[in-house]
Structure 1
Amino acid sequence: MKNVLISGAGIAGVTLAHWLHRYGFGVTLVERAPAIRAGGYKVDIRGAALQVIEWMDLTERVRGMRTEVRTGSVVDAAGRRVASMDGDTFGGREHDDAEVLRGELHQLLYELTAQDVDYRFGDSIAALTPTSDGVQVTFAGGRTELFDLVVGADGLRSTTRALAFGPDDQFVRDMGYYVSVFSVPNHLGLDREELTYVGPGRTALTYSTAREAGARAMFLFSSEPLSYDHRDRAEQERLLTAAYAGEGWELPRLLRAVSDSPDFLFDSLSQVHMDRWSAGRVVLLGDAAHCASPASGQGTSLALVGAYVLATELAAAGGDHTAAFDAYERRMRPFVGENQKLGPANIKRMVMASRIQVRVSMVMLSLMARLPGKDRMLAKLVQPIHRAANAITLPTPTRHTGQAPAHDHTSAA
């Protein structure tokens, strides 16, 4: 039995742990944080990712976790609703797409694996040393162990990638925007509603869901590269507040809540581009390998699909990591490429460059909201994301632990 170390207990890492255990691998998962992270924004599960969820026997539970956001509106500086539409249209969802809170999905996946996986919270990888029959891993806590394979699922700022492949500046491409998400009091009394404010170079939104009593706020703004400590929250809060100085609507009030929020997130909108996702017995997964950025709307789906494909190819290859990693890349790269294209296109629609562009956009949205064919026009705008979400054919999983999966391929579309 192969023993696999996974670095990073995010959606990708925990999903991979499930599938590897199901296929008979021994799994250890190390995570720098002291526990599974709660909070985070709402995320969509689409296309091939829905098939992975079904094969995990989680479809009904995921459907029961839907946010049930009913309406979405764009507001001006005075708070007037310029345009409104139903929640699914506003969020670009169709058919069986599921919008859920990332933290709830994360907790569900963790509970699915907690009894079968050796979770080690509060630790991280400090060094990787290839050997003739594995990878010797030195942990930050001081322990050294030998594993057959190491998977870096530790996100955009991957330590595993830095140790095995090189520093971030070789692979991380900033898109010229920053994002922040955190919980806020529902002082607007929103009931499963999302409100979006658009200013020149700055967009902000707040929403409530059926799953929480409070609300969440998201901020997206364009900027030259910012130099800051990624673990210094106070510094990040100052950068966020400064970026929105002088903006109207409810932004000052939302920003005053940032210091009290338990789940603050701040980072650049960036993508990861690599010529190869594996080096010897080390392989990357999810954002560590191919971050498409939150602007793509496909980060969670990419994590779910990538974890399934990697585990399935390892099982199909009988643990032959060289063959499995090659097959994993061949299958995933076209899918990743289609989804990475979404980020740059989407963010330009989400964050307007100038006041003139904002005004024109507000007029167009107001007119579109009154047209009888608005639903068809809006559907066309979101077609690219649904094409990308289905741009892969998945192998069928085995139903028996430890047995290699059949490779008669079925479409996830």
Structure 2
Amino acid sequence: MKNTTVLISGASIAGPALAHWLIRYGFTVTVVEKAPALRPGGQAVDFKGETHRTVLTRMGILEDVQKLQTGGTDQRIVDADGRTLAVMPGEFTGGDLEIGRGDLSGLLYERTAPACEYVFGDSITSLTETASGVHVTFERSAPRTFDLVVGADGIHSNVRRLAFGPEADFVRHLGHYYALVELDEDFGPVATMYNEPGRLVAVGGPKAGAFFVFASDRLDYDRYDAGQQKDILARAYAGMGWQVPAIMERVRRAHDVYLDSISQVRIDRYAKGRVVLLGDSAYGNTLGGFGTGLAVVGAYVLAGELAAAAGDHQVAFAEYERQLRGYAKIAKNGNAGPFLAPATPARIRMRNWIFKYRFLLTLMMKMADKFATDIDLKNY
């Protein structure tokens, strides 16, 4: 087998999932991650349908994921006086199997760390392809050469920027931002969400923290500066009713804040030479509900095709793209922003009707199941 040394950028979910399979097939894997350690917490992620379960079973982690699952939690939608308008059922938000993003990331790391080199607190600064490999320079580590490089580093992919071009060429802002904030105290045992036009706040329940979605043009800010992100949230939620003023006081004191755009990746090809994209870097759609499943299935297919082609990256990358291009089509069309934070009172009422009238909800969930299983999964 050729092309046996692989560098993966990104240690969240897609990267370690790919490392899991590549190690099993005899590749030598290095994972580089900009953060100094695994990022705990984050929003819950979910898996839907038989395809996702099949991949988790073949990975040998289905039972571990089931043990860590959070369980879908019903969420009340309330008015400014706290009266319940509708209930978003847990099976809608949590899929068939829901788990904390940090828990899943930790599980995948534990499974791969003994046989894989992880480099935290570092980032790729350049990629230079040669006839026999990719010469890689880093912010901190010494330069190295790898046979293949995989960008599994999210919607703001550094690898995609270095190998394919600037982010603006591939990432489309969809008109909303979202934020996750770990608060210093919870807001009760019941998960509750409140809307005003173009804005959503959700707090409470067993999944601690606060969740925000708000309409906005593209913002210029430092994604690693918590103070700037808190200021943006304060401006976006000024004057809002219900318990929002008290929630925003907690936000100002919070240590863990994550703010990002709801965006969509559109790219004509997943591979360029010896560099290939995986997960959100290739087919991301923020809050689309399919990102984790696409990442795990994509990792399974990419590694399987590399093994089937005995390391021939040209053959493997072409087949990986052929299979995933159709499966990832759900990421082309969805936009969670207007659904979570409708622009007008009338649209808020229409969104709530989905949860009042069960047949509408059932139809949406059947469509989601169809998308989640729309691939002829090979058994490598």
Tell me if 1:348 matches 2:338. yes
Deviation readout 1:34-93 (Å, 9 max, x if unpaired):
1111010111111322221111111111111121344221111111111235422x4263
Query: Following superposition of structure 1 onto structure 2, how do residues 346-385 of structure 1 map, counting pairs within 5 Å?
Result: 346-359=336-349, 361=351, 364=353, 369=356, 374-385=357-368
Q: Give the match's secondary structure for 2:115.
A: coil
Tell me if 1:179 matches 2:181. no
Structure 1 residues 259 and 54 mapped into 2: Cα distance closer, same or farther (>3 Å)? farther
Question: In 1, distance between residues paired with 2:220 and 2:278?
Answer: 26
Q: Give the match's secondary structure for 2:264.
A: strand
Selected match of 1:217 from 193, 202, 210: 210
Tell me if 1:320 matches 2:294. no
Deviation at 1:125, TM superposition (A): 0.5
Question: In 2, distance between residues paired with 1:281 and 1:61?
Answer: 34
- Normalising by the residue count of structure 1, what TM-score does the alignment of the two structures yield? 0.87
Question: In 2, distance between residues paired with 1:287 and 1:80?
Answer: 38
Deviation at 1:259, TM superposition (A): 4.0
Question: In 2, distance between residues paired with 1:19 and 1:319?
Answer: 13
Q: Give the match's secondary structure for 1:64.
A: helix
Tell me if structure 2 keeps the 8 A contact 1:339–1:385.
no
Q: Give the match's secondary structure for 2:209.
A: strand
Structure 1 residues 73 and 385 mapped into 2: Cα distance closer, same or farther (>3 Å)? same
Q: Give the match's secondary structure for 2:122.
A: coil
Selected match of 2:370 from 378, 387, 405: 387
Question: In 2, distance between residues paired with 1:393 and 1:252?
Answer: 50
Question: In 2, distance between residues paired with 1:319 and 1:278?
Answer: 15
Partner of 1:410: none
Query: Following superposition of structure 1 onto structure 2, how do residues 169-318 of structure 1 map, counting pairs within 5 Å?
Result: 169-190=168-189, 193-209=190-206, 215-294=208-287, 296-318=288-310
Tell me if structure 2 keeps the 8 A contact 1:194–1:207.
yes
Deviation readout 1:129-176 (Å, 9 max, x if unpaired):
111100000111151111000001111111111110100111000000
Gaps of 5+ in 1: 397-404, 406-413
Structure 1 residues 242 and 42 mapped into 2: Cα distance closer, same or farther (>3 Å)? same
Deviation readout 1:184-242 (Å, 9 max, x if unpaired):
2454321xx42111110001112422xx6xx1211011111111122222111111111
Tell me if structure 2 keeps the 8 A contact 1:92–1:379.
no
Deviation at 1:384, TM superposition (A): 2.1
Q: Give the match's secondary structure for 1:269.
A: strand
- More displaced, 55-64 or 112-121? 55-64
Structure 1 residues 85 and 237 mapped into 2: Cα distance closer, same or farther (>3 Å)? closer
Q: Give the match's secondary structure for 2:68.
A: coil
Structure 1 residues 189 and 110 mapped into 2: Cα distance closer, same or farther (>3 Å)? same
Tell me if structure 2 keeps the 8 A contact 1:32–1:123.
yes
- More displaced, 56-65 or 248-257? 248-257
Selected match of 1:336 from 319, 328, 341: 328
Question: In 1, distance between residues paired with 2:153 and 2:90?
Answer: 32
Amino acid at match of 1:354: T
Question: In 2, distance between residues paired with 1:322 and 1:233?
Answer: 42
Tell me if structure 2 keeps the 8 A contact 1:339–1:389.
no
Amino acid at match of 2:241: G
Partner of 2:66: 63
Partner of 1:127: 126
Question: In 1, distance between residues paired with 2:81 and 2:68?
Answer: 33
